[in-house]
Amino acid sequence: MLASMTLPFQVIMIPLVMLYGNMHLLDTKLSLLFMYMGFGIPFGVFTFHGFIKGIPFELEESAFMEGSSRFRTFFQIVLPLLKPVIVTLLVLDVLWIWNDYLLPSLVLLSPGQKTLPLSTYTFFSSYSVDFSPLMAGLVMTIVPVLVLYLFLQNQIIKGITEGALK
């Protein structure tokens, strides 16, 4: 997992697009979602691994001694402790996917499939820029992510500080 994070996307983007093009999987948001999962899972595994190492195993042992099953121990003891890292990873992935321009521009070819960052590029022409609709579009693009961050701000800060202490 860690080795897959060391390879930059720009190294594999052309072979990836050629492979998906040969399989006729381009121009669908499902294939874009599949690629995002493939590129995002290693970072999630790395983040969860670092966070879970800091959870004392004695908590799980005491639950087992009390007769708790593995599933109940996970869902009632471990999962609530993972809440800060889940929220942090959620916000980081949403920001990454929401602001990504390169991968959707390679995968989504038809105008009806464009994402918001790709759609804002239509306000630029060869000789001029229509700034009024461009700024309105950019504000509409920023608002959902800003609202998400404002609602989850405490959990993000808690997740970052706990991850730094462990």
Q: Is a pLDDT exceeding 60 seen at residue 9?
A: yes
Domain boundaries, the chain: 7-165
CATH class of 7-165: mainly alpha
DSSP 32: H
Q: How far apart are CA 48 and CA 42, in angstroms?
A: 10
- pLDDT tens string 93-123: 988 998 899 999 999 989 888 888 888 888 8
Residues 163, 119: Cα–Cα separation, whole Å: 36
Q: For residues 52 and 2, give the distance between their C-alpha atoms in angstroms, rounded to a whole number.
A: 16
Q: Nearest 5 degrees, angle CA 94-CA 98-CA 120?
A: 165
Give the pLDDT band (50/70/90) at residue 130.
Answer: confident
Long-range contacts of 80-86 (CB under 8 A, 24+ apart): 81/55, 82/48, 82/51, 82/52, 83/155, 84/155, 84/156, 84/158, 84/159, 84/162, 84/163, 85/47, 85/48, 85/51, 85/159, 85/162, 85/163
User: Rounded to whole angstroms, what are the CA distances from 143 to 87, 108, 133, 150?
Assistant: 19, 24, 15, 10
Tens digit of pLDDT for each residue in 133-154? 889 888 988 898 889 888 888 8
